[in-house]
């Protein structure tokens, strides 16, 4: 599609995402609460906006989790190609669901090590790739030398022109999905005025390391048209380079990363649905906590929703990933757009003295947020323009209309009468 020009797409998309995170950070530091941006939208845009934003974020996490469990099934196919993918998907859904209902301290420890393994592996893969480039190994079976020439030898840096670059934004923005979970956990941070800015200001470095530099090394190592979708690209490359043991180890790493991502999806959606229940925008049962401080009902609901992923992997295993990635892109960008609009509404409700007291103000106000808002609207146009992603836009519009109707029919009479948001100490992770 975009070819090596996808690096530009990640840089442009990453800049917009960073502006979203700074807008969220401004609100989270100013008023750290459980439920975060769903609560902020209710406060500054109205109860309906909070309802739509909160449920769309939960919807986003469901769709992203389906993509992640699908990726897990694809990765397992590296070792067991004869086993149907849906079997692996079903197994991981039950495993992650069960772990989320266990003692959170034990699972938090597991999550810490999975994240550490993921970061360490990405750095190791980048260093290994740079080492292969430095020593000039040839690609097994192709005879082409690795190096930056691969960025220009297969149709040029932008093989499909500007159109290919624009089309790639649908997948690029999906890749950034879930990064806003920092805001969901704002109410649970012990020192939000220190922790939140530190986490958000690290976003540009994460984008450069985990996306741009990783893709740069990938496309230098191997001709980009030959990198398929039937597994982790790094695993494919090391396997084709004849380094089978490295490919096997990397497959363990990407599987661990997928498990970590699925857990984050369930965690984020659970906390958001908990906040919605506290505001009267979700069934009261969603606010019930287990003895370990986990909103267990939301975990059960997420597990049940992920069974849709099992069904899709059974019915359309070849096309499921593109479909759910496109739908997730709509939900993700909608959430980001609402966050930006909420931050603008908050600023407009404040006087100069209050603005001056903000401890983590968004940069380049008001032009930065305005450009980010325009970019999010542009992404919706991209989804509607290209045939492969039009279905996602249709599903997204239907979803928003459904939420508006649901609010008007069931929630409007109770608007403003929901329980106050729980104190951060009631939730544990």
Between 398 and 179, name the one with better pLDDT: 398
Sign of CA dihedral 9, 257, 233, 241: positive
Is pLDDT at 376 greater than 90 in this prediction? yes
The string of pLDDT tens digits covering residues 260-312 is: 888 878 877 877 788 788 878 888 888 887 776 777 888 888 888 888 878 87
* CA gap 261, 277 in Å, rounded: 24
The string of pLDDT tens digits covering residues 212-238 is: 888 888 888 777 777 655 555 666 666
Per-domain boundaries in the chain: 3-421
**Burial (0-12, 13-18, 19+ Cβ within 10 Å), 50:** buried
Rg of the chain over Cα atoms, rounded to whole angstroms, equals: 22
Pair 237, 230: CB distance under 8 Å: no
Is pLDDT at 182 greater than 60 in this prediction? yes
Pair 282, 53: CB distance under 8 Å: no
Half-sphere exposure of 89 (CA within 13 A, CB side): 27
Is pLDDT at 136 greater than 70 in this prediction? no
Pair 21, 179: CB distance under 8 Å: yes
Task: Report the percent of the chain where pLDDT is more than 90.
Answer: 21
What is the residue-wise DSSP string for 339-405?
HHHHHHHHHHTS-HHHHHT-SSPPTTTTHHHHHHHHHHHHHHHHHHHSHHHHHHHHHHHHHHHHHHH
The string of pLDDT tens digits covering residues 76-127 is: 888 888 888 889 988 888 888 877 776 556 656 777 777 788 788 788 878 8
> Strand, helix or coil at 420?
coil
Is pLDDT at 211 greater than 90 in this prediction? no
Looking at residue 231, what is its pLDDT? 54
- 322-348 average pLDDT score: 90
- Whole-structure pTM over 0.85, yes or no? no
Pair 62, 302: CB distance under 8 Å: yes
Between 174 and 185, name the one with better pLDDT: 174
Superfamily of structural domain 3-421 = Amino acid/polyamine transporter I (1.20.1740.10)
Between 425 and 284, name the one with better pLDDT: 284
Pair 179, 19: CB distance under 8 Å: no
* CA gap 85, 74 in Å, rounded: 7
User: Residue 168 to residues 3, 68, 208, 380, 423: CA-CA distances in angstroms?
Assistant: 9, 19, 18, 13, 41
């Amino acid at each position: 599609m975009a070819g090596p020009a996808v690096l530009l797409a990640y840089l442009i998309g990453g800049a917009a995402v960073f502006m979203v995170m700074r807008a969220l950070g401004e609100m989270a530091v100013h008023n750290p609460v459980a439920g975060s941006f769903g609560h902020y939208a209710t406060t500054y845009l109205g109860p309906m906006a909070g309802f739509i934003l909160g449920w769309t974020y939960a919807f986003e996490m469901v769709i992203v989790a389906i993509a992640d469990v699908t990726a897990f099934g694809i990765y397992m196919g590296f070792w067991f190609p004869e086993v149907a993918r849906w079997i692996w998907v079903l197994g991981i859904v039950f495993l992650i669901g069960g772990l989320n209902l266990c003692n959170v301290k034990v699972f938090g420890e597991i999550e810490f090590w999975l994240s550490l393994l993921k970061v360490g592996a990405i750095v190791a893969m980048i260093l290994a790739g740079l080492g292969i480039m430095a020593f000039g190994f040839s690609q097994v079976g192709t005879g082409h030398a690795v190096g930056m020439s691969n960025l220009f030898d297969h149709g040029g840096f932008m093989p499909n022109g500007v159109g290919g670059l624009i089309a790639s934004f649908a997948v690029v923005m999906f890749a950034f999905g879930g990064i806003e979970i920092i805001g969901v956990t704002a109410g649970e941070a012990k020192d939000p005025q220190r922790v939140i800015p530190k986490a958000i200001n690290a976003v540009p470095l994460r984008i450069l390391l985990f996306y741009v530099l990783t893709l740069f090394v990938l496309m230098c190592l191997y001709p980009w048209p030959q990198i398929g979708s039937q597994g982790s690209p790094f695993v494919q490359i090391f396997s084709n380079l004849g380094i089978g043991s490295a490919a096997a180890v990397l497959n363990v790493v990407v599987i661990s990363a997928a498990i970590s991502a699925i857990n984050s999806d369930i965690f984020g959606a659970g906390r958001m649905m908990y906040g919605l229940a506290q505001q009267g925008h979700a069934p009261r049962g969603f606010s019930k906590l287990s003895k370990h401080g986990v909103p267990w009902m939301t975990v059960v609901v997420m597990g049940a929703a992920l069974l849709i992923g099992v069904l899709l992997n059974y019915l359309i295993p070849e096309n499921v990933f593109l479909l759910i990635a496109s739908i997730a892109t709509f939900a993700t960008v909608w959430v980001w757009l609402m966050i930006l609009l909420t931050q603008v509404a908050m600023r407009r409700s404040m006087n100069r003295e209050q603005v001056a007291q903000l401890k983590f103000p968004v940069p380049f106000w008001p032009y930065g947020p305005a450009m980010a808002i325009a970019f999010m609207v542009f992404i919706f146009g991209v989804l509607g323009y290209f045939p492969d992603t039009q279905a996602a836009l249709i599903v997204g519009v239907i979803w928003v209309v459904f939420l508006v109707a649901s609010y008007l029919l069931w929630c409007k009479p109770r608007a403003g009468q929901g329980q106050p948001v729980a104190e951060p100490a009631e939730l544990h992770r």
